[in-house]
Amino acid sequence: MDDTRILIVEDEQKIADTLKYGLIEHGYKAEAAYNGDAALQFFSRHFYHLILLDINLPDTNGFDLCKAIRSRNKQVPIIMLTALNSINHKLEGYEIGADDYIAKPFEFKELLMKIKVLVKRTSLHEKGEVSILKAADLEINLDSKQVVRGNKIINLTAKEFQLLEYLLKNRNRVLSRADIAINVWDIDFDTNTNVIDVYINYLRNKIDKNFQPKLIHTQIGMGYVLRDNG
């Protein structure tokens, strides 16, 4: 943890500094940028293991800043911080490349948990543990984040990639929505949301719609399964 470096992008200086010193107390190296321009300057000069990104910034939209960061680095985990807690805002954040989402106000220990999970996930990839996953003619590279099916490169958002990775690592096993919620979103399953079904459909449209055999299947009343032989 001593070498884990985190960039906090938050326009409310008191909140940013509180997060910064809280993370430092827990052994992380943390820096704070109070606007989008400063964040990009920090990002261009230093390597970060994770970014905490507020959506409401004075000089830019946090979603646009997330896109800019993603265009430069596809691997760095991004957790979006916001008072906007609707499912549409969450979906928008995931669509443009965020790895996770936490709504204000939040418990600091919840943020620490999310940071720990994402940093660990990234470090496992950097150590070269199972860098290629395959099923039928689908192949994903955990290091480069490249997804290929039938020799065609498929572009996925960060959350779509995480979902596909989880399905592939558990191929031929039926996964409940609760399993997926905990392991991909790091949250308890909320029966009032259809976010998991939405993301399954996103994946189907990208990796199954124009290909054979179909890999992702619904087990009615049970969940979803990715079968490596269709």
- What would you report as the CA-atom Rg of the chain, rounded to the nearest whole angstrom? 18
pLDDT in tens, 2-60: 689 999 999 999 999 999 999 999 999 999 999 999 999 999 889 999 999 998 898 88
Band (pLDDT 50/70/90 cuts) for residue 85 is: low
CATH of the domain spanning 5-126: 3.40.50.2300
5-126 and 132-226 agree in CATH topology: no
Band (pLDDT 50/70/90 cuts) for residue 188 is: low
**What pLDDT is stored for residue 89 in this prediction?**
72
Domain boundaries, the chain: 5-126, 132-226
Lowest-pLDDT range, 21-35, 176-190, 196-210, 216-230? 176-190
Query: Per-residue pLDDT for 215 more than 90?
Result: yes
Band (pLDDT 50/70/90 cuts) for residue 170 is: very high
**What pLDDT is stored for residue 178 in this prediction?**
87
CATH tag for 132-226 (out of 1.10.10.10, 3.90.79.10, 3.40.50.720, 3.20.20.10): 1.10.10.10
**What pLDDT is stored for residue 86 in this prediction?**
66
pTM beyond 0.75, yes or no:
no
Query: Per-residue pLDDT for 124 more than 70?
Result: no
